[in-house]
Amino acid sequence: MSSVLEALIHVPTEEPVLALTFDDGPDPVYTPRLLDILAAHRARATFFMIGARADRHRELVARVAAEGHVIGNHSWDHPSFPLISQEERREQVRACARAISPYDERLFRPPYGHLDLASCLDVDQMGYRVVAWKIDAGDWEERDGPSIAEAVMAKLQPGAIVLLHDGLFDALDERFFPRDATISAVELLLNRLAGFRFVTIPELLQYGTPRCKQWEYTEPKEELNRLIRQDGSTRRY
């Protein structure tokens, strides 16, 4: 089974800009630490938030917006969209939008990167732009900060969108939930890439013509089957 659609991954430009994006927050422990580091480097980012978490930490949602970052929609509680019904998909987006209101920038990142044609059309009809990534830092696995930073540096190019996580809503192992390695990696990147400007997705779009990828949904990899139920919901440790 395979369906094709387009998702924003990159804005080709000669300008030294990168878009750091963070999924699955806000997290009351790690998101404030990350915000402090971004502020110290005058860097801005885009946070794709889980509605259930944003609803519990509204003061943190407000802080993210107040410090110049952009907030996007990452669903209410992280199901795989192709595995749930149209009404469930729409309610996932609506519920998250309510939780991040009034800061919703109408950007949507699909949980697990899973979208098929039907779910893409639902999101599009609701007025959202699908944002994927050019560089996956792999910080949802068991890696240390330098390894995560090197994964980004190895694929570095101006205008790229980088996938990171300031929280994990679910994980293959409970060891992966702490975000200390991600925090360390972000600080390493900001120090090493002093010549780059770190911008939000809306800012990035001002630098050129967006490059979209034909984003292909395939059945979840075997290891993700440990997380994703047939109804699209996830198992939590």
Residue type, 192: R
pLDDT of residue 6: 81
Q: Find the mean pLDDT for residues 45-52.
A: 98
144-183 confidence digits (pLDDT tens): 999 999 999 999 999 999 999 999 998 888 888 999 999 9
Q: Find the mean pLDDT for residues 176-191.
A: 96
Active site annotation includes 165:
yes
How many domains is the chain partitioned into structurally?
A: 1
Tell how far CA 132 is from the center of its chain: 8
In a domain, 236, yes or no: no
Q: Find the mean pLDDT for residues 132-154.
A: 95
pLDDT of residue 172: 81
In a domain, 130, yes or no: yes
In a domain, 234, yes or no: no
- CATH code where residue 216 lies: 3.20.20.370
The answer to whether residue 237 scores a pLDDT higher than 70 is no
Between 5 and 46, name the one with better pLDDT: 46
In a domain, 30, yes or no: yes
- How far, CA to CA in Å, does 135 sit from each of 95, 154, 224? 28, 9, 20
Mean pLDDT of the chain: 90
Length in residues, the chain:
237
Q: Which of 74, 104, 165, 166 is catalytic?
A: 165
Domain of 39?
3-226
- Give the span between the Cα atoms of 237 and 227, in whole angstroms: 9
In a domain, 132, yes or no: yes
In a domain, 100, yes or no: yes
In a domain, 131, yes or no: yes
Rg (CA), the chain: 16
Under DSSP, is residue 12 helix (H, G, I), strand (E, B) or coil? coil
In a domain, 231, yes or no: no
Q: Which of 23, 139, 166, 170 is catalytic?
A: 23
pTM confidence score: 0.91
Tell how far CA 214 is from the center of its chain: 18
